[in-house]
Chains A and B, each alone.
Chain A
Protein backbone atom coordinates (compact mmCIF):
# COMPACT_ATOMS: atom_id res chain seq x y z
CA UNK A 1 0.00 0.00 0.00
CA UNK A 2 1.42 3.35 -1.01
CA UNK A 3 -1.02 5.50 0.92
CA UNK A 4 -3.32 4.34 3.66
CA UNK A 5 -5.29 6.67 5.86
CA UNK A 6 -7.60 5.79 8.72
CA UNK A 7 -10.20 8.22 9.96
CA UNK A 8 -7.96 11.13 9.28
CA UNK A 9 -9.40 14.35 10.62
CA UNK A 10 -8.29 17.95 10.60
CA UNK A 11 -10.01 20.93 12.06
CA UNK A 12 -8.79 24.50 12.18
CA UNK A 13 -10.43 25.92 15.26
CA UNK A 14 -14.06 24.92 14.86
CA UNK A 15 -13.86 24.73 11.10
CA UNK A 16 -13.55 21.13 10.01
CA UNK A 17 -11.48 20.77 6.85
CA UNK A 18 -11.31 16.99 6.76
CA UNK A 19 -13.97 15.10 8.64
CA UNK A 20 -13.17 11.41 8.53
CA UNK A 21 -11.01 10.24 5.72
CA UNK A 22 -10.15 6.62 5.08
CA UNK A 23 -8.45 5.97 1.81
CA UNK A 24 -6.04 3.54 0.22
CA UNK A 25 -3.87 4.01 -2.83
CA UNK A 26 -2.07 1.02 -4.24
CA UNK A 27 1.32 0.84 -5.88
CA UNK A 28 1.45 1.72 -9.54
CA UNK A 29 -1.98 3.25 -9.88
CA UNK A 30 -2.92 6.71 -11.03
CA UNK A 31 -5.35 7.88 -8.42
CA UNK A 32 -7.72 10.76 -8.91
CA UNK A 33 -8.95 12.69 -5.92
CA UNK A 34 -12.06 14.63 -6.82
CA UNK A 35 -14.24 17.02 -5.00
CA UNK A 36 -15.66 20.52 -5.00
CA UNK A 37 -13.64 23.48 -3.80
CA UNK A 38 -13.18 23.47 -0.07
CA UNK A 39 -13.92 19.76 0.23
CA UNK A 40 -10.61 19.13 1.97
CA UNK A 41 -8.51 17.82 -0.91
CA UNK A 42 -5.50 20.06 -0.38
CA UNK A 43 -5.64 19.67 3.38
CA UNK A 44 -5.58 15.89 2.92
CA UNK A 45 -2.51 16.14 0.71
CA UNK A 46 -0.81 18.46 3.16
CA UNK A 47 -1.44 15.99 5.95
CA UNK A 48 0.06 13.18 3.88
CA UNK A 49 3.16 15.27 3.26
CA UNK A 50 3.60 16.39 6.84
CA UNK A 51 2.88 20.07 6.15
CA UNK A 52 -0.26 20.00 8.25
CA UNK A 53 -0.72 17.86 11.34
CA UNK A 54 -3.90 15.80 11.62
CA UNK A 55 -6.17 16.48 14.57
CA UNK A 56 -6.84 12.76 14.87
CA UNK A 57 -6.63 9.55 12.91
CA UNK A 58 -3.60 7.90 11.41
CA UNK A 59 -2.01 7.30 8.07
CA UNK A 60 0.98 5.68 6.44
CA UNK A 61 2.90 6.87 3.44
CA UNK A 62 4.94 4.16 1.70
CA UNK A 63 4.45 2.02 4.79
CA UNK A 64 5.87 4.64 7.15
CA UNK A 65 3.93 6.75 9.61
CA UNK A 66 3.17 10.35 8.69
CA UNK A 67 5.97 12.79 9.29
CA UNK A 68 8.78 10.28 8.71
CA UNK A 69 11.15 12.19 6.43
CA UNK A 70 12.58 8.99 4.97
CA UNK A 71 9.19 8.32 3.35
CA UNK A 72 9.28 11.79 1.81
CA UNK A 73 12.58 10.86 0.16
CA UNK A 74 10.49 8.77 -2.23
CA UNK A 75 7.68 11.27 -2.72
CA UNK A 76 7.51 14.14 -5.20
CA UNK A 77 5.05 16.98 -4.73
CA UNK A 78 3.67 19.78 -6.85
CA UNK A 79 1.74 22.19 -4.59
CA UNK A 80 -1.49 23.78 -5.68
CA UNK A 81 -0.29 27.32 -5.09
CA UNK A 82 3.14 26.74 -6.50
CA UNK A 83 5.45 29.59 -5.67
CA UNK A 84 9.16 29.21 -5.90
CA UNK A 85 12.13 31.34 -4.91
CA UNK A 86 11.86 33.71 -7.81
CA UNK A 87 15.43 35.00 -7.62
CA UNK A 88 16.84 31.58 -8.46
CA UNK A 89 17.41 30.40 -11.99
CA UNK A 90 15.63 27.21 -13.03
CA UNK A 91 18.88 25.26 -12.95
CA UNK A 92 19.80 26.58 -9.49
CA UNK A 93 16.31 25.78 -8.25
CA UNK A 94 16.41 22.22 -9.55
CA UNK A 95 19.91 21.53 -8.29
CA UNK A 96 19.10 22.91 -4.87
CA UNK A 97 16.09 20.61 -4.60
CA UNK A 98 18.17 17.72 -5.89
CA UNK A 99 20.56 18.40 -2.99
CA UNK A 100 17.67 18.34 -0.54
CA UNK A 101 16.48 15.06 -2.06
CA UNK A 102 19.91 13.62 -1.31
CA UNK A 103 21.08 13.20 -4.88
CA UNK A 104 24.80 13.48 -5.49
CA UNK A 105 26.03 16.60 -7.24
CA UNK A 106 26.53 14.72 -10.51
CA UNK A 107 23.14 12.99 -10.31
CA UNK A 108 21.45 16.25 -9.40
CA UNK A 109 23.06 18.06 -12.29
CA UNK A 110 22.18 15.35 -14.77
CA UNK A 111 18.58 14.88 -13.57
CA UNK A 112 17.93 18.63 -13.41
CA UNK A 113 18.97 19.05 -17.03
CA UNK A 114 16.99 16.00 -18.19
CA UNK A 115 13.82 17.01 -16.33
CA UNK A 116 13.96 20.63 -17.47
CA UNK A 117 14.23 19.26 -20.97
CA UNK A 118 11.29 16.90 -20.41
CA UNK A 119 8.98 19.75 -19.39
CA UNK A 120 10.22 21.96 -22.20
CA UNK A 121 12.10 24.47 -20.08
CA UNK A 122 15.63 23.66 -21.23
CA UNK A 123 15.87 26.85 -23.33
CA UNK A 124 14.94 28.94 -20.27
CA UNK A 125 17.07 27.10 -17.72
CA UNK A 126 19.35 30.07 -17.06
CA UNK A 127 16.54 32.56 -16.50
CA UNK A 128 15.44 33.71 -13.07
CA UNK A 129 12.10 32.26 -12.02
CA UNK A 130 10.68 35.73 -11.43
CA UNK A 131 10.52 36.14 -15.21
CA UNK A 132 8.61 32.85 -15.70
CA UNK A 133 4.95 32.77 -16.68
CA UNK A 134 2.51 30.88 -14.50
CA UNK A 135 2.48 27.95 -16.88
CA UNK A 136 6.27 27.78 -16.94
CA UNK A 137 6.38 27.80 -13.16
CA UNK A 138 3.90 24.96 -13.02
CA UNK A 139 6.00 22.93 -15.45
CA UNK A 140 9.02 23.63 -13.32
CA UNK A 141 7.09 22.45 -10.28
CA UNK A 142 6.31 19.24 -12.07
CA UNK A 143 9.97 18.75 -13.01
CA UNK A 144 10.95 19.38 -9.39
CA UNK A 145 8.42 16.76 -8.24
CA UNK A 146 10.11 14.13 -10.40
CA UNK A 147 13.60 14.65 -8.96
CA UNK A 148 15.10 11.48 -7.55
CA UNK A 149 12.60 9.26 -9.36
CA UNK A 150 10.15 9.07 -6.47
CA UNK A 151 7.88 6.06 -6.02
CA UNK A 152 4.91 8.36 -5.43
CA UNK A 153 4.16 11.68 -7.05
CA UNK A 154 1.45 13.90 -5.62
CA UNK A 155 0.10 16.56 -7.94
CA UNK A 156 -2.25 19.16 -6.53
CA UNK A 157 -4.15 20.68 -9.44
CA UNK A 158 -1.29 20.08 -11.88
CA UNK A 159 -2.86 21.75 -14.89
CA UNK A 160 -4.53 24.80 -13.36
CA UNK A 161 -2.12 27.26 -14.96
CA UNK A 162 -1.50 25.46 -18.22
CA UNK A 163 -2.62 26.02 -21.79
CA UNK A 164 -3.79 23.04 -23.90
CA UNK A 165 -0.22 22.28 -24.98
CA UNK A 166 0.91 22.22 -21.37
CA UNK A 167 -2.01 20.01 -20.40
CA UNK A 168 -1.15 17.54 -23.09
CA UNK A 169 2.40 17.52 -21.80
CA UNK A 170 1.25 16.79 -18.25
CA UNK A 171 -0.99 14.00 -19.49
CA UNK A 172 1.89 12.46 -21.43
CA UNK A 173 4.16 12.71 -18.41
CA UNK A 174 1.60 11.02 -16.19
CA UNK A 175 1.28 8.18 -18.72
CA UNK A 176 5.04 7.84 -18.85
CA UNK A 177 5.23 7.74 -15.06
CA UNK A 178 2.58 5.05 -14.96
CA UNK A 179 4.46 2.83 -17.41
CA UNK A 180 7.52 3.26 -15.22
CA UNK A 181 5.53 1.98 -12.25
CA UNK A 182 5.29 5.29 -10.41
CA UNK A 183 2.19 5.82 -8.33
CA UNK A 184 0.52 9.14 -9.11
CA UNK A 185 -1.96 10.88 -6.85
CA UNK A 186 -3.77 13.66 -8.66
CA UNK A 187 -5.96 16.17 -7.02
CA UNK A 188 -7.99 18.01 -9.58
CA UNK A 189 -11.30 19.46 -10.50
CA UNK A 190 -10.43 19.43 -14.17
CA UNK A 191 -12.40 16.26 -14.66
CA UNK A 192 -11.47 15.74 -18.28
CA UNK A 193 -7.88 15.35 -17.12
CA UNK A 194 -8.80 12.78 -14.52
CA UNK A 195 -10.94 10.96 -17.04
CA UNK A 196 -8.07 10.30 -19.42
CA UNK A 197 -5.34 9.61 -16.91
CA UNK A 198 -6.70 7.92 -13.81
CA UNK A 199 -7.17 4.27 -12.92
CA UNK A 200 -9.18 4.87 -9.82
CA UNK A 201 -10.99 7.82 -8.37
CA UNK A 202 -12.36 8.89 -5.04
CA UNK A 203 -14.92 11.60 -4.52
CA UNK A 204 -14.55 13.73 -1.46
CA UNK A 205 -17.06 16.09 -0.05
CA UNK A 206 -17.06 18.04 3.19
CA UNK A 207 -14.00 16.12 4.25
CA UNK A 208 -15.41 12.64 3.68
CA UNK A 209 -14.94 10.12 0.91
CA UNK A 210 -18.38 9.60 -0.50
CA UNK A 211 -17.54 7.29 -3.36
CA UNK A 212 -14.47 5.37 -4.39
CA UNK A 213 -14.18 3.11 -7.44
CA UNK A 214 -12.04 2.11 -10.40
CA UNK A 215 -12.69 4.51 -13.24
CA UNK A 216 -13.72 1.70 -15.63
CA UNK A 217 -16.35 0.56 -13.21
CA UNK A 218 -17.65 4.06 -12.71
CA UNK A 219 -17.84 4.70 -16.38
CA UNK A 220 -19.21 1.26 -17.22
CA UNK A 221 -22.69 2.41 -16.31
CA UNK A 222 -25.18 3.62 -18.83
CA UNK A 223 -23.96 5.28 -21.96
CA UNK A 224 -25.49 7.55 -24.48
CA UNK A 225 -25.53 6.98 -28.18
CA UNK A 226 -25.95 9.46 -30.96
CA UNK A 227 -26.79 7.94 -34.31
CA UNK A 228 -26.71 10.06 -37.41
CA UNK A 229 -29.26 8.45 -39.68
CA UNK A 230 -31.15 8.94 -42.94
CA UNK A 231 -34.95 8.89 -43.23
CA UNK A 232 -36.49 6.69 -40.56
CA UNK A 233 -40.09 5.58 -40.19
CA UNK A 234 -42.07 6.00 -36.98
CA UNK A 235 -42.45 2.21 -36.79
CA UNK A 236 -38.70 1.65 -36.83
CA UNK A 237 -38.27 4.36 -34.23
CA UNK A 238 -40.86 2.72 -32.02
CA UNK A 239 -38.92 -0.53 -32.32
CA UNK A 240 -35.94 1.11 -30.61
CA UNK A 241 -37.90 1.16 -27.38
CA UNK A 242 -36.60 -2.37 -26.80
CA UNK A 243 -33.19 -0.88 -25.95
CA UNK A 244 -33.87 2.57 -24.73
CA UNK A 245 -36.64 4.16 -22.73
CA UNK A 246 -35.63 7.66 -23.79
CA UNK A 247 -35.41 8.39 -27.46
CA UNK A 248 -35.09 11.80 -28.96
CA UNK A 249 -35.01 12.55 -32.63
CA UNK A 250 -33.52 15.88 -33.55
CA UNK A 251 -32.86 16.67 -37.20
CA UNK A 252 -31.20 13.55 -38.44
CA UNK A 253 -29.74 12.50 -35.11
CA UNK A 254 -31.21 9.94 -32.75
CA UNK A 255 -30.25 10.37 -29.10
CA UNK A 256 -30.68 7.36 -26.88
CA UNK A 257 -29.51 6.06 -23.53
CA UNK A 258 -28.33 2.46 -23.43
CA UNK A 259 -27.57 0.18 -20.51
CA UNK A 260 -24.35 -1.26 -21.88
CA UNK A 261 -21.92 -1.44 -24.77
CA UNK A 262 -23.42 -4.57 -26.30
CA UNK A 263 -26.56 -2.66 -27.09
CA UNK A 264 -24.67 -0.29 -29.38
CA UNK A 265 -24.00 -3.17 -31.77
CA UNK A 266 -27.57 -4.41 -31.48
CA UNK A 267 -29.05 -1.01 -32.24
CA UNK A 268 -26.74 -0.67 -35.20
CA UNK A 269 -27.75 -4.06 -36.62
CA UNK A 270 -31.42 -3.27 -36.07
CA UNK A 271 -31.19 0.02 -37.93
CA UNK A 272 -29.24 -1.44 -40.83
CA UNK A 273 -31.57 -4.41 -41.15
CA UNK A 274 -34.56 -2.07 -41.11
CA UNK A 275 -33.04 -0.34 -44.12
CA UNK A 276 -32.18 2.91 -42.31
CA UNK A 277 -28.95 4.47 -43.57
CA UNK A 278 -26.54 4.94 -40.67
CA UNK A 279 -23.99 7.71 -41.30
CA UNK A 280 -22.35 7.62 -37.92
CA UNK A 281 -22.58 6.30 -34.40
CA UNK A 282 -21.11 8.25 -31.59
CA UNK A 283 -21.20 6.89 -28.16
CA UNK A 284 -21.01 9.44 -25.50
CA UNK A 285 -20.37 7.93 -22.17
CA UNK A 286 -21.78 9.62 -19.21
CA UNK A 287 -18.89 11.96 -18.61
CA UNK A 288 -17.03 12.10 -15.35
CA UNK A 289 -18.37 15.59 -15.04
CA UNK A 290 -21.92 14.33 -14.98
CA UNK A 291 -20.95 11.56 -12.61
CA UNK A 292 -19.30 14.12 -10.40
CA UNK A 293 -22.42 16.24 -10.36
CA UNK A 294 -24.55 13.18 -9.70
CA UNK A 295 -22.42 11.85 -6.87
CA UNK A 296 -21.54 15.11 -5.24
CA UNK A 297 -24.97 16.56 -5.94
CA UNK A 298 -26.84 13.57 -4.51
CA UNK A 299 -25.01 13.99 -1.27
CA UNK A 300 -25.81 17.64 -0.96
CA UNK A 301 -29.53 17.11 -1.45
CA UNK A 302 -29.53 14.34 1.13
Chain B
Protein backbone atom coordinates (compact mmCIF):
# COMPACT_ATOMS: atom_id res chain seq x y z
CA UNK B 1 0.00 0.00 0.00
CA UNK B 2 2.95 2.31 0.31
CA UNK B 3 3.37 4.77 -2.48
CA UNK B 4 6.85 5.79 -3.35
CA UNK B 5 6.95 9.53 -3.51
CA UNK B 6 8.89 11.14 -6.31
CA UNK B 7 12.43 12.07 -5.26
CA UNK B 8 11.79 15.79 -5.66
CA UNK B 9 8.90 15.81 -3.23
CA UNK B 10 10.70 13.62 -0.77
CA UNK B 11 13.80 15.74 -0.60
CA UNK B 12 11.96 19.03 -0.30
CA UNK B 13 9.97 17.68 2.63
CA UNK B 14 13.15 16.58 4.32
CA UNK B 15 14.75 19.89 3.49
CA UNK B 16 12.13 22.11 5.04
CA UNK B 17 12.16 20.04 8.22
CA UNK B 18 15.55 21.18 9.44
CA UNK B 19 15.44 24.81 10.53
CA UNK B 20 17.81 24.12 13.40
CA UNK B 21 20.56 22.94 11.13
CA UNK B 22 20.18 25.98 8.90
CA UNK B 23 20.27 28.33 11.89
CA UNK B 24 23.43 26.63 13.12
CA UNK B 25 24.96 26.98 9.67
CA UNK B 26 24.37 30.74 9.74
CA UNK B 27 25.70 30.87 13.30
CA UNK B 28 28.81 28.98 12.21
CA UNK B 29 29.26 31.38 9.30
CA UNK B 30 29.05 34.34 11.67
CA UNK B 31 31.49 32.91 14.19
CA UNK B 32 33.82 31.75 11.45
CA UNK B 33 33.86 35.21 9.88
CA UNK B 34 35.07 36.78 13.11
CA UNK B 35 37.76 34.16 13.34
CA UNK B 36 38.86 34.35 9.71
CA UNK B 37 38.87 38.11 9.69
CA UNK B 38 41.10 38.10 12.78
CA UNK B 39 38.55 40.14 14.76
CA UNK B 40 38.51 37.43 17.37
CA UNK B 41 42.28 37.25 17.65
CA UNK B 42 42.69 41.02 17.84
CA UNK B 43 40.10 41.17 20.61
CA UNK B 44 41.69 38.27 22.46
CA UNK B 45 45.17 39.77 22.13
CA UNK B 46 44.08 43.14 23.48
CA UNK B 47 42.02 41.46 26.17
CA UNK B 48 44.97 39.42 27.38
CA UNK B 49 47.09 42.57 27.40
CA UNK B 50 44.48 44.25 29.60
CA UNK B 51 44.37 41.26 31.94
CA UNK B 52 48.14 41.36 32.18
CA UNK B 53 48.17 45.07 33.01
CA UNK B 54 45.42 44.57 35.55
CA UNK B 55 47.33 41.70 37.15
CA UNK B 56 50.53 43.70 37.38
CA UNK B 57 48.65 46.60 38.97
CA UNK B 58 46.92 44.29 41.40
CA UNK B 59 50.18 42.64 42.37
CA UNK B 60 51.75 45.97 43.23
CA UNK B 61 48.77 47.11 45.27
CA UNK B 62 48.25 43.90 47.23
CA UNK B 63 49.86 45.18 50.45
CA UNK B 64 47.91 48.41 50.68
CA UNK B 65 45.87 47.42 53.74
CA UNK B 66 49.01 46.60 55.72
CA UNK B 67 50.40 50.00 54.90
CA UNK B 68 47.30 51.84 56.09
CA UNK B 69 46.65 49.54 59.04
CA UNK B 70 42.89 49.60 58.50
CA UNK B 71 41.38 46.08 58.68
CA UNK B 72 38.27 47.06 56.75
CA UNK B 73 40.24 48.55 53.97
CA UNK B 74 41.40 45.30 52.41
CA UNK B 75 37.94 44.04 51.50
CA UNK B 76 36.81 47.50 50.45
CA UNK B 77 39.82 48.07 48.31
CA UNK B 78 39.66 44.62 46.74
CA UNK B 79 36.01 45.15 45.92
CA UNK B 80 36.82 48.50 44.37
CA UNK B 81 39.57 47.01 42.24
CA UNK B 82 37.45 44.09 41.07
CA UNK B 83 34.59 46.36 40.09
CA UNK B 84 37.00 48.70 38.32
CA UNK B 85 38.33 45.76 36.32
CA UNK B 86 34.89 44.46 35.49
CA UNK B 87 33.73 47.96 34.61
CA UNK B 88 36.38 48.09 31.91
CA UNK B 89 35.43 44.59 30.78
CA UNK B 90 31.80 45.64 30.50
CA UNK B 91 32.76 48.70 28.49
CA UNK B 92 34.93 46.55 26.25
CA UNK B 93 32.00 44.17 25.76
CA UNK B 94 29.70 47.03 24.77
CA UNK B 95 32.25 48.15 22.18
CA UNK B 96 32.92 44.67 20.89
CA UNK B 97 29.24 43.81 20.66
CA UNK B 98 28.28 46.87 18.70
CA UNK B 99 31.37 46.99 16.49
CA UNK B 100 31.26 43.32 15.54
CA UNK B 101 27.56 43.01 14.84
CA UNK B 102 26.47 46.38 13.51
CA UNK B 103 27.73 45.63 9.99
CA UNK B 104 26.30 42.16 9.97
CA UNK B 105 23.02 42.47 8.10
CA UNK B 106 23.55 45.87 6.49
CA UNK B 107 26.99 44.83 5.24
CA UNK B 108 25.70 41.66 3.65
CA UNK B 109 22.83 43.51 2.05
CA UNK B 110 25.10 46.22 0.67
CA UNK B 111 27.72 43.84 -0.67
CA UNK B 112 25.14 41.45 -2.07
CA UNK B 113 26.41 38.35 -0.26
CA UNK B 114 22.95 38.08 1.27
CA UNK B 115 21.46 37.19 -2.11
CA UNK B 116 22.88 33.70 -2.32
CA UNK B 117 22.02 33.11 1.35
CA UNK B 118 18.47 34.43 1.35
CA UNK B 119 17.50 32.52 -1.80
CA UNK B 120 18.32 29.21 -0.18
CA UNK B 121 15.37 27.38 1.33
CA UNK B 122 15.55 29.19 4.63
CA UNK B 123 13.30 31.76 6.17
CA UNK B 124 14.54 35.25 6.85
CA UNK B 125 14.08 34.86 10.60
CA UNK B 126 16.45 31.93 10.53
CA UNK B 127 19.17 34.23 9.21
CA UNK B 128 18.58 36.78 11.98
CA UNK B 129 18.48 34.16 14.75
CA UNK B 130 21.49 32.38 13.30
CA UNK B 131 23.52 35.57 13.29
CA UNK B 132 22.40 36.49 16.78
CA UNK B 133 23.42 33.06 18.06
CA UNK B 134 26.77 33.16 16.27
CA UNK B 135 27.66 36.55 17.72
CA UNK B 136 26.26 35.58 21.12
CA UNK B 137 28.45 32.48 21.27
CA UNK B 138 31.53 34.46 20.32
CA UNK B 139 30.89 37.42 22.63
CA UNK B 140 29.82 35.36 25.64
CA UNK B 141 32.97 33.32 25.27
CA UNK B 142 34.93 36.56 25.21
CA UNK B 143 33.08 37.84 28.26
CA UNK B 144 33.81 34.61 30.09
CA UNK B 145 37.51 34.88 29.31
CA UNK B 146 37.76 38.55 30.28
CA UNK B 147 35.53 38.63 33.36
CA UNK B 148 36.80 35.21 34.40
CA UNK B 149 40.36 36.52 34.05
CA UNK B 150 39.67 39.53 36.29
CA UNK B 151 37.95 37.40 38.93
CA UNK B 152 40.69 34.78 38.93
CA UNK B 153 43.39 37.42 39.22
CA UNK B 154 41.77 39.09 42.21
CA UNK B 155 41.17 35.69 43.76
CA UNK B 156 44.76 34.55 43.46
CA UNK B 157 46.59 37.85 43.90
CA UNK B 158 44.60 39.43 46.73
CA UNK B 159 42.46 36.48 47.82
CA UNK B 160 39.17 38.20 47.19
CA UNK B 161 35.98 37.13 45.43
CA UNK B 162 33.00 39.47 45.32
CA UNK B 163 29.52 38.34 46.28
CA UNK B 164 27.01 36.94 43.76
CA UNK B 165 29.56 36.55 40.99
CA UNK B 166 27.36 34.28 38.89
CA UNK B 167 24.38 36.61 39.02
CA UNK B 168 26.63 39.51 38.06
CA UNK B 169 28.12 37.58 35.15
CA UNK B 170 24.64 36.65 33.97
CA UNK B 171 23.68 40.33 33.98
CA UNK B 172 26.77 41.29 31.97
CA UNK B 173 25.91 38.47 29.56
CA UNK B 174 22.37 39.75 29.24
CA UNK B 175 23.80 43.18 28.42
CA UNK B 176 25.67 41.61 25.49
CA UNK B 177 22.58 39.79 24.22
CA UNK B 178 20.53 42.96 24.54
CA UNK B 179 22.93 45.19 22.62
CA UNK B 180 23.31 42.47 20.02
CA UNK B 181 19.57 42.41 19.43
CA UNK B 182 19.45 46.21 19.12
CA UNK B 183 22.43 46.20 16.74
CA UNK B 184 20.78 43.58 14.52
CA UNK B 185 17.49 45.45 14.53
CA UNK B 186 19.23 48.68 13.45
CA UNK B 187 21.43 46.88 10.96
CA UNK B 188 18.49 45.16 9.31
CA UNK B 189 17.09 48.48 8.16
CA UNK B 190 19.78 51.16 8.31
CA UNK B 191 23.27 51.38 6.88
CA UNK B 192 26.20 50.27 9.00
CA UNK B 193 27.26 53.83 9.73
CA UNK B 194 23.77 54.95 10.68
CA UNK B 195 23.28 51.90 12.90
CA UNK B 196 26.61 52.42 14.64
CA UNK B 197 25.89 56.10 15.23
CA UNK B 198 22.43 55.26 16.54
CA UNK B 199 23.73 52.64 18.95
CA UNK B 200 26.65 54.57 20.36
CA UNK B 201 24.50 57.68 20.53
CA UNK B 202 21.85 55.84 22.49
CA UNK B 203 24.45 54.26 24.72
CA UNK B 204 26.05 57.65 25.33
CA UNK B 205 22.72 59.17 26.34
CA UNK B 206 21.97 56.39 28.83
CA UNK B 207 25.53 56.58 30.14
CA UNK B 208 25.23 60.28 30.92
CA UNK B 209 21.68 59.87 32.20
CA UNK B 210 22.88 57.15 34.53
CA UNK B 211 25.29 59.63 36.09
CA UNK B 212 22.58 62.21 36.43
CA UNK B 213 20.54 59.57 38.20
CA UNK B 214 23.41 58.73 40.57
CA UNK B 215 24.02 62.35 41.47
CA UNK B 216 20.28 62.90 41.73
CA UNK B 217 20.11 60.09 44.26
CA UNK B 218 22.92 61.59 46.26
CA UNK B 219 21.28 65.03 46.28
CA UNK B 220 17.80 63.57 46.67
CA UNK B 221 16.66 65.24 43.46
CA UNK B 222 13.78 63.18 42.10
CA UNK B 223 13.63 64.69 38.61
CA UNK B 224 17.30 63.86 38.05
CA UNK B 225 16.56 60.29 39.12
CA UNK B 226 13.63 60.16 36.70
CA UNK B 227 15.84 61.23 33.82
CA UNK B 228 18.01 58.23 34.51
CA UNK B 229 15.08 55.87 34.70
CA UNK B 230 13.59 57.09 31.44
CA UNK B 231 16.98 56.72 29.74
CA UNK B 232 17.25 53.19 31.12
CA UNK B 233 13.90 52.36 29.60
CA UNK B 234 15.21 53.60 26.27
CA UNK B 235 18.21 51.28 26.48
CA UNK B 236 18.60 49.28 29.72
CA UNK B 237 22.25 48.55 29.03
CA UNK B 238 23.93 50.79 31.62
CA UNK B 239 21.22 49.79 34.13
CA UNK B 240 22.31 46.16 33.78
CA UNK B 241 25.87 47.11 34.68
CA UNK B 242 24.71 49.00 37.74
CA UNK B 243 22.60 46.07 38.84
CA UNK B 244 25.58 43.74 38.35
CA UNK B 245 27.82 46.12 40.33
CA UNK B 246 25.22 46.20 43.07
CA UNK B 247 25.09 42.41 43.20
CA UNK B 248 28.84 42.25 43.74
CA UNK B 249 29.15 45.06 46.28
CA UNK B 250 29.43 44.35 49.96
CA UNK B 251 26.70 46.10 52.03
CA UNK B 252 29.38 48.25 53.58
CA UNK B 253 30.82 49.49 50.34
CA UNK B 254 27.47 50.36 48.84
CA UNK B 255 26.67 52.38 51.93
CA UNK B 256 29.76 54.53 51.84
CA UNK B 257 31.16 54.55 48.36
CA UNK B 258 30.61 56.76 45.50
CA UNK B 259 32.75 55.66 42.62
CA UNK B 260 32.21 55.23 38.90
CA UNK B 261 32.08 51.50 39.42
CA UNK B 262 29.50 51.22 42.11
CA UNK B 263 25.83 51.96 42.06
CA UNK B 264 24.16 54.41 44.38
CA UNK B 265 20.82 54.21 42.68
CA UNK B 266 20.23 50.54 42.13
CA UNK B 267 18.00 49.41 39.28
CA UNK B 268 15.27 47.14 40.63
CA UNK B 269 14.76 43.51 39.64
CA UNK B 270 11.90 44.83 37.54
CA UNK B 271 14.48 46.62 35.42
CA UNK B 272 16.27 43.31 34.85
CA UNK B 273 12.99 41.74 33.81
CA UNK B 274 12.41 44.73 31.54
CA UNK B 275 15.86 44.19 29.98
CA UNK B 276 14.95 40.58 29.22
CA UNK B 277 11.71 41.64 27.63
CA UNK B 278 13.50 44.43 25.77
CA UNK B 279 15.98 41.94 24.31
CA UNK B 280 13.20 39.67 23.13
CA UNK B 281 11.28 42.56 21.58
CA UNK B 282 14.37 43.89 19.83
CA UNK B 283 15.06 40.48 18.38
CA UNK B 284 11.47 40.27 17.21
CA UNK B 285 11.83 43.76 15.72
CA UNK B 286 15.03 42.74 13.94
CA UNK B 287 13.24 39.75 12.43
CA UNK B 288 10.26 41.84 11.45
CA UNK B 289 12.35 44.58 9.85
CA UNK B 290 14.56 42.12 8.01
CA UNK B 291 11.67 39.94 6.84
CA UNK B 292 9.64 42.76 5.39
CA UNK B 293 12.37 44.55 3.49
CA UNK B 294 13.53 44.12 -0.09
CA UNK B 295 17.03 42.75 -0.44
Which A residues lie at the B interface, using CB under 8 A?
12, 46, 49-53, 69-70, 72-75, 77, 79, 81-85, 87-88, 92, 96-97, 99-102, 141, 144, 148, 151
Contacts and interface: CB of A to CB of B under 8 A. Distances in A.
Main secondary structure of the interface of B (DSSP, over half): helix
Main secondary structure of the interface of A (DSSP, over half): loop
A102 B295 contact: no
Interface residues of B, number: 32
A97 B294 contact: no
A73 B14 CA distance: 10
Given A70-B121, A79-B112, A79-B116, A99 B12 contact: no
B36 A69 contact: no
A70 B33 CA distance: 28
Contacts of B28: 96
A84 B119 contact: no
B112 A81 contact: yes
B117 interface: yes
Given A51-B295, A69-B16, A87 B36 contact: yes
B12 A70 contact: yes
B25 interface: yes
Contact of B15 (A51, A73, A83): A73
A73 B119 contact: no
A100 B14 CA distance: 12
A85 B12 contact: no
A100 B115 CA distance: 13
Contact of A102 (B8, B15, B113): B15
Contact of B12 (A74, A83, A97, A144): A74
B29 interface: yes
B107 to A, nearest CB: 11
Contact of B122 (A77, A100, A144): A100
B111 A83 contact: yes
Contacts of B123: 69
B16 A101 contact: no
